[in-house]
Structure 1
Amino acid sequence: MSDSNQSLTLRAPVAGVVVPLTAVPDPVFASLTLGEGIALDPLGECLHAPCDGEVVQCARTHHAFTLRTEAGVELLLHLGLDTVELNGKGIEPLVAVGDQVRAGDPLCRFDADALALGASALITPLVITEAAGWQLLPSKHREGERVSLGEPLLVLTRTAIEQSDTRADGPLAERRVTLALASGLHARPAARLRAIAREHNVNLTVQQECSSDNAASASASSLSALMNLGLTEGATLKLTAQGEAAEAALDAAERLLTTPEAEEHSAPASSTLTAVALKEGELAGLVASPGLAIGPLVSYQLPLPAVPLMGEGEAVETDRLKKALLSVGEALANAEAQATRQGQSAEAEIFAAHGAWLEDPDLAAAAGQHISEGRSAGQAWREALDAEAARLAASGNTLLAARVADLRDLQRRVMVELSDDQQAALPELPKGAVVVADELTPSELVAVATQHPAGLCLAGGGTTSHVAILARARGIPCLVAMGASLIDAANSATSESVILDAENGRLALSPSATQRAEVAERIDARRYEAEQAQALAHEPAMTLDGREIEVCANIGGAEEARLAADSGADGVGLLRSEFLFLERDSAPSEATQRDEYQAAVKALDGKPVIIRTLDIGADKQLPYLRLPSVPNPALGVRGARLWASQPELLETQLRALLGVTPLETLHIMLPMVTEVGELREVRKRLETLASEMGLDTRPRLGAMIEVPSAALCARSLAVEADFLSIGTNDLTQYTLAMDREDPALTARADVLHPAVLRLIQATVDGAKGHCPVGVCGAAAGDERVALLLVALGVDELSVEPARVPAVKAALRCLNAAALADELPALLALDDATAVRQHLSAWLAKANQTDITTTTLERC
């Protein structure tokens, strides 16, 4: 939308959370190779035009659209990252090339879950690929800020001097190549072609060779033109370059187009299900939430609220619908806030998603159309969502179909607001029932869960549905996609109890008494173990050979500190102080920091609390801290290196930490330490500040071991430090040269790689006799890995609060000395897979496997 002849306002194409373009986890977008702009992490499921313009490019795979304004500005909207790999799955385009659109017109609908599972991120960049003499003003929106659909997002102004189209002169060169890019010529390689042309100062043209005389061609200066060629793998191309460096440019272009793209961000393969060999009287289903259950089979069905068919006029019914939507939106926001306070993150995320879907203008428009035809607000909403649910169910896409239950939930919530009848109470279910339903909405699942069902069986649904997420979060065994025969079976079932095996994907409708007894025994053993682990959570974790291991908690703030205390944690092994610095316009004050640190120390009531100083850089950035752009942020200014350029941040944080009482329980930990000099500098500054504040006590000062240099120099660090803490996530990343943010390398970036284990051993050996060594990385929460870490000599493990009881229980059944004797054999193995297999075999022999089922019973 053009505000005047001199400015152009771009509006949010979807409700979402702001992400600076330079923070997008894709080098082509982050480096601004495509152009300047902004990105949103979407909260809706429809992408809209940010301004008036013509659609000049629609990606073959529906994931990208380019608009050209009347002034010639070209804008690329790129739905998600690496969505080209999905080949259009989960995306429904609503426009075509040549269409004229107005600001706010829908461009495409998409299924957020389909994209989230198949792409590397949902983050959606909005990029100005052709400025046409316009300049982008700095955005007023900060990172992490939530914006609404249609809200002003960016403003461009016309520059004083129009950019001219400079064409290179010089030799003309041609080359024929075969396109080897599996996903074709999409945005990323198109941007690189343009960069090649600019770098070599040439005019570069791409043309597809075919039998026709009018084969389409495009200049590399136009991304939309390049992408509109629709080139796919195997296409024969003629490249033409003009300029003094034409041959060099063609060399670079040929390398780009004929080298298959690395699959570092390719979509994961679809999960396959092992065929279930069914016996007579059994039904199969997909495992949505694992576990075992025995109980009576009970059907659940709740009718929709009664609403009038016809309305009292368009104005009256439109107002009623608007008020109902507002009321439900407020209820969802309150439910999200309450779930967040109670630590129920799965519920909170789903309530947030429903709130975003409730704001979908297409649903409101469909209901409005029915109102204009004479329907009541309630009936209009019902029909609008019936139609959308039918469309999703008929899509043939299991991920889209899985969203039907969410639509039904929104349908019911709004209809309740518009119904005159008192809402019927939930059907009363016997405690311990295996509940059968065609579908359950998320809110129904939450309500059913209050009646303590033993398990759930759904005729429809999917393993990625929100009901499945909620069932897993609450530990309720659940099978889905069991088919219509499930309802028939439930209506005709005669057995007193069924067996729900949500580990092997089957429901036994007529189990024998022997089968029921065997499963009941397994369920009792697991329940007993969990209860015993919780009952002993506040007791020390003492190994069988007499070593006491501290099991602490990793937390993000004072609220989680209270959860850590309740879980039985022996202290806090890592408080990530950066949570105080994120999502703010400026750094937190000394008082703000001190209050938060004090609350955490108070919650632990005398137990040690380790607070890590600000760890910013690499994957975490601050909008008010402009760090220099570097090719590899993971190797740039971060952790302890930050203090040289930002000393005021450290000084304020140290003063806040020194203001906490009692200082005896407060420990300070420095991230990303590479040499002892960094630790000495901070200790020196800490001493100076403590003296200025008139303090007699000093907090303990430690260092994180996250890079190989620190592990190999652990002895010199241990002489200076009061404690060391190994961050296994980064140590594994830097040792194996595998980005821990790369989903394609997640399985290979394994802490059990012999090289990583040797560095952990070097750390423990170097610190021996000087200071204790802990582990605060994710590996400490893996019970089997935790046992090996203790055998290596680690003194303390820090895990997520909920993991504390189970890790303590596992340690109590460990003979650490015996496992230590096995270390030479483990460290001599070739790779992490071999170490895992050897460790599992040793634990099985030592009666240490299956910690979650029988370890406590054996102990």
Structure 2
Amino acid sequence: MSACPLSLVAPVTGITMRLGDVPDPVFAGGELGQGVALDPLEASLHAPCDGEVVQCARTGHALSLRTEQGIEVLLHLGLDTVELQGEGIELLVEVGQWVKAGDELCRFDPELLAERARSLITPLVVTDAAGWQLEHVVDTANGRVERGEPLMHLVAAESSEAAVQAEPMGAWRERSVSLALENGLHARPAARLRAIVQRHAVEMRLLHAATEANAASVSALMNLGLSAGSRVVLQARGEAAEAALDGVVLLLTTPEGVQPVADAAVPSVPSAEVDEGEVAGLVASPGLAIGKPMVLSLPLPEVPYAGRGEALEREALEGALQRVGETLESAREQAVQRGRNTEAEIIEAHLAWLEDPGLSDAARARIEAGRGGGQAWREALDEEAERLRATGNALLAGRVADLHDLQRHVMAEFAESDAAPTFDLPEGAILLAVDLSPSQFVDLLEYAPAGLCLKGGGVTSHVAILARSRGIPCLVAMGDALDGVKGEQAVLDAQAGRLETAPDDARLATVRRKLADEAERRAVERAEATSSAVTRDGRSIEVAANIGNSDEAYLAAESGADGIGLMRSEFLFLGRDSAPDEAEQRREYQTSLAALDGKPVIIRTLDIGADKQLAYLRLPEVPNPALGVRGVRLWHDQPQLLDTQLRALLGVEPLSTLHIMLPMVSEAGEVARVRERLEAIATQLGVVERPRLGAMVEIPSAALCAASLAETADFLSIGTNDLTQYALAMDREDPHLASRADVLHPGVLRLIQATLEGAAGRCPVGVCGAAAGDPLAAALLVAMGVDELSVEPARVAAVKAEIRRLDAASLAREVPALLAMPNAESVRRRLAERHSDAATTISDSTTTISERTSS
């Protein structure tokens, strides 16, 4: 027999509409659940049922209620209202409060929201029906309802065995997989796994040996101790169980890939054979340094041991976790905006840990035992750190520093003293520590350390990753042999994996000479960075910069770049809940133009697809995202995104320096269609001048049809990364194919040649892919006829110097022979031999000049 139906009443007087008609794919697609939407005709929202407030958005725009029956209901005020950051919205309830149907939940300023938000349409969604079935009472297609009028009934499903068997939603679905993650199930893939489960709103557990882990807990997942090759059983239940299992299986069976080039030469273990006065370690970041060895020690914040009562301490801990979470989220967004994706991923893993129910429960248990909130958190994370060490997995043990980082952040919220711990360090020291957390590493950068030596850690730790990204020599896993190291000068040879604690004068002189030679070379290159890059045979090549945001535009200008060869506009769209509006985009683009002060700036339109998802624009998951809807193909389905971006671009000054570039172009017709749209919008805006419109050559069809493409586009830019991927049918993210997916493959070079020949006499051709920064590939590209190379700002000076040493005409005569070679290895070998001969000649000349100067 069915239970009495539960009614959901209108939370506001307004006009109803079907949830499927809401202009937001998350609500319309039913990803959050079933329900209805209302366009409010009054300025407050009321409870649609009796229930406990279980969630309130920080910005006040959304809240959830849970009924006695376990049904959860989401009320979302307007669309894109999160952008208002709470402005114009007043919450009248808080989490944990019990409300009755009709109680006032929040008030809002309808005029402000109507002006600033995308829409006032307010979805009412049953996010967890808990086995109940939804029945609409009113016609949800544009009908008026009064506040308190019934909208929907929820009817309990039959409890008979037959009914249960007919309803498969509660059944567990199961898969068994073998882990392909080279580094096991560590923090970042665990965080991604949890995100998949949350996105599909299912329950999932992982079983390995005799251990079971709830996928909602990153700690539990990591404590399974899964390594490459481990067999694990996945069990999920919920409406989207199969889709969630598909996503997790793909995650766990796809190798993560290798670290950057610096990792390739990392030894697996330090050599046991060391000379006297040397300490061995694993090379986490290569390089050479001289500095005073300084022991780094930073105690944890002092926090009260005993609590003031369970309720107070639990509330204090929740507040501390929320504040630290907001700080980390802000840091993650800044990292995304600055194009520091590695740092953003690390912070995202920390956020997942911060929200881990296992850690929170462990801390609450200690609060119940009488501890203060800060002490409870300290003990909970100490226990978790010991579990990670006990797994025997070097990668998991390397995450202990991350746990201590979170431990320090949260304990600081309970600190008895406001004085922040400081470092007493000279600049240019070689820092010695047990381990470092990512935040400590960032704090230490202001002291410009010459290098790092850590007793613990690993080559895949987050600090190791950050050290490589910053170019700071670093050794890890040095053990207790690091104790007692002291002296005025030490040599850190992070090539051979040695810290030389007592180098003699001859060794110091040799190392200083090497460092001086390198510094002198870089100084000469920087001094000449603003000068034109002209080859020895008289060809002038533009060297531009690739940037990810407007901040980097100033760095590009300072580096001597001749312009911006590629500004990735994705940074504006990623890491947020809604698309940037026209004004925000225009400000960023205008800032970049101003930074370059009249030099050309190429801004690429949004290059997003199923491989790089936006939270507010969920595209269907496809088996091969690289071949799906991405780049210019997106505009067919999302024309409003393009229109807004084109309007923003047309609003900058001067338009004479702005170049707009379209990604993933496969034929001239795609450029023509965007040009038509650009013309129409410019006419609407009354804009007389037009920016140049170009296309990226990343698809073989674009290279082979370069002549027609060059008739339509004002310039072409070769994206060598994707062109290589598509030409060789080798996924650029597959670590097993990384060494073979080489731009110097004769097949790829022939596509580049076809592009240059097709565009000859019609429009200029540049290269903005990674090949532009590869000394061997760049030299060949110039010899083949490209007009511009665009590289990272830090490489501008060096690339210009390499071009000035190049005899392009001489190398051009070898191009036919190089294109006829059988593979990339042979091409690269020949170019390396030629480069080595040229470098020896230049080195001899430099030595002669140096000797003449010193005499």
TM-score normalized by structure 1?
Answer: 0.67
CA distance in 2, matches of 1:289, 1:357: 26
Aligned pair 1:508/2:504, yes or no? no
CA distance in 1, matches of 2:723, 2:306: 66
Quick check: 697-706 or 273-282, which moved more? 273-282
CA distance in 1, matches of 2:418, 2:280: 38
Name 1:384's counterpart in structure 2: 380
Determine which of 473, 497, 512 is the counterpart of 2:469.
473
The structure-2 alpha-carbon separation of the partners of 1:82 and 1:787, relative to structure 1 and needing over 3 Å to count, comes to: farther
Tell me by how many angstroms 1:106 deviates. 5.4
Q: Secondary structure at the match of 2:736?
A: helix
What root-mean-square deviation, in Å, do the aligned CA atoms of Structure 1 and Structure 2 show?
A: 5.0
Identity, in percent, stands at 55
CA distance in 2, matches of 1:856, 1:283: 38
CA distance in 2, matches of 1:521, 1:630: 55
Aligned pair 1:73/2:65, yes or no? no
The structure-2 alpha-carbon separation of the partners of 1:623 and 1:417, relative to structure 1 and needing over 3 Å to count, comes to: closer
Q: Secondary structure at the match of 2:447?
A: coil
Determine which of 594, 597, 601 is the counterpart of 1:609.
601
CA distance in 1, matches of 2:622, 2:343: 38
Tell me by how many angstroms 1:292 deviates. 0.9
Aligned pair 1:411/2:407, yes or no? yes
CA distance in 1, matches of 2:213, 2:432: 47
The structure-2 alpha-carbon separation of the partners of 1:469 and 1:648, relative to structure 1 and needing over 3 Å to count, comes to: closer
The structure-2 alpha-carbon separation of the partners of 1:4 and 1:611, relative to structure 1 and needing over 3 Å to count, comes to: farther
The structure-2 alpha-carbon separation of the partners of 1:730 and 1:331, relative to structure 1 and needing over 3 Å to count, comes to: closer
2:832 is aligned with what amino acid? S
Q: Secondary structure at the match of 1:484?
A: helix
Aligned pair 1:431/2:423, yes or no? no
1:346-400 CA deviation, whole Å, 9 max, x = no partner? 5555444434423323223222222333334343333222222222122201111
CA distance in 1, matches of 2:622, 2:420: 61
Name 1:485's counterpart in structure 2: 481
Please list, as runs of the form range in 1=range in 2, the aligned pairs for 1:304-323 lying within 5 A after superposition: 304-323=300-319
Q: Secondary structure at the match of 2:453?
A: strand
CA distance in 2, matches of 1:739, 1:801: 27
CA distance in 2, matches of 1:646, 1:416: 46
Tell me by how many angstroms 1:437 deviates. 1.8
1:369 is aligned with what amino acid? A
Tell me by how many angstroms 1:858 deviates. 9.6
The structure-2 alpha-carbon separation of the partners of 1:342 and 1:664, relative to structure 1 and needing over 3 Å to count, comes to: closer
Tell me by how many angstroms 1:287 deviates. 0.9
Please list, as runs of the form range in 1=range in 2, the aligned pairs for 1:57-456 lying within 5 A after superposition: 72-74=168-170, 83=179, 109-111=220-222, 128=238, 265=255, 273=268, 276=271, 277-333=273-329, 335-336=331-332, 347=343, 349-421=345-417, 423=419, 425-456=421-452
Residue pair 2:339, 2:571 contacting (<8 A) in 1 also:
no
Residue pair 2:177, 2:253 contacting (<8 A) in 1 also:
no
Tell me by how many angstroms 1:783 deviates. 3.2
Tell me by how many angstroms 1:753 deviates. 0.5
CA distance in 1, matches of 2:720, 2:780: 13
Tell me by how many angstroms 1:479 deviates. 0.5
Please list every run of 5 or more consecutive structure 2 residues that lacks an aligned counterpart in the other structure: 8-25, 32-127, 132-163, 191-203
* Number of aligned residue pairs: 677
Determine which of 770, 774, 799 is the counterpart of 2:762.
770
The structure-2 alpha-carbon separation of the partners of 1:438 and 1:671, relative to structure 1 and needing over 3 Å to count, comes to: closer
Quick check: 280-289 or 637-646, which moved more? 637-646
Q: Secondary structure at the match of 2:468?
A: helix
Residue pair 1:118, 1:268 contacting (<8 A) in 2 also:
no
1:707 is aligned with what amino acid? I
1:433 is aligned with what amino acid? A
CA distance in 2, matches of 1:805, 1:426: 36
Q: Secondary structure at the match of 2:543?
A: strand
CA distance in 2, matches of 1:421, 1:291: 39
Name 2:136's counterpart in structure 1: none
Residue pair 2:549, 2:571 contacting (<8 A) in 1 also:
yes
CA distance in 2, matches of 1:449, 1:296: 16
Residue pair 2:270, 2:281 contacting (<8 A) in 1 also:
no
Aligned pair 1:709/2:820, yes or no? no
Residue pair 2:333, 2:575 contacting (<8 A) in 1 also:
no
CA distance in 2, matches of 1:126, 1:644: 36
Quick check: 457-466 or 412-421, which moved more? 412-421
CA distance in 2, matches of 1:78, 1:536: 63
CA distance in 2, matches of 1:20, 1:272: 52
Residue pair 1:321, 1:378 contacting (<8 A) in 2 also:
yes
The structure-2 alpha-carbon separation of the partners of 1:411 and 1:711, relative to structure 1 and needing over 3 Å to count, comes to: closer
Please list every run of 5 or more consecutive structure 1 residues that lacks an aligned counterpart in the other structure: 8-17, 24-49, 54-67, 137-153, 155-186, 193-261
CA distance in 2, matches of 1:81, 1:572: 46
The structure-2 alpha-carbon separation of the partners of 1:354 and 1:744, relative to structure 1 and needing over 3 Å to count, comes to: same
Residue pair 2:338, 2:552 contacting (<8 A) in 1 also:
no
1:223-274 CA deviation, whole Å, 9 max, x = no partner? xxxxxxxxxxxxxxxxxxxxxxxxxxxxxxxxxxxxxxx9975877997537
The structure-2 alpha-carbon separation of the partners of 1:78 and 1:357, relative to structure 1 and needing over 3 Å to count, comes to: farther
Tell me by how many angstroms 1:804 deviates. 2.5
Residue pair 1:296, 1:433 contacting (<8 A) in 2 also:
yes
2:220 is aligned with what amino acid? R
Please list, as runs of the form range in 1=range in 2, the aligned pairs for 1:627-666 lying within 5 A after superposition: 634-635=626-627, 639-640=631-632, 653-666=645-658
Residue pair 1:665, 1:699 contacting (<8 A) in 2 also:
yes
CA distance in 2, matches of 1:798, 1:615: 18
Residue pair 1:264, 1:744 contacting (<8 A) in 2 also:
no
Residue pair 2:604, 2:661 contacting (<8 A) in 1 also:
yes
Quick check: 612-621 or 87-96, which moved more? 87-96
Determine which of 572, 576, 586 is the counterpart of 2:564.
572
CA distance in 2, matches of 1:278, 1:102: 43
Tell me by how many angstroms 1:428 deviates. 1.9
Determine which of 768, 771, 780 is the counterpart of 2:772.
780
Q: Secondary structure at the match of 1:476?
A: coil
Residue pair 1:21, 1:125 contacting (<8 A) in 2 also:
no
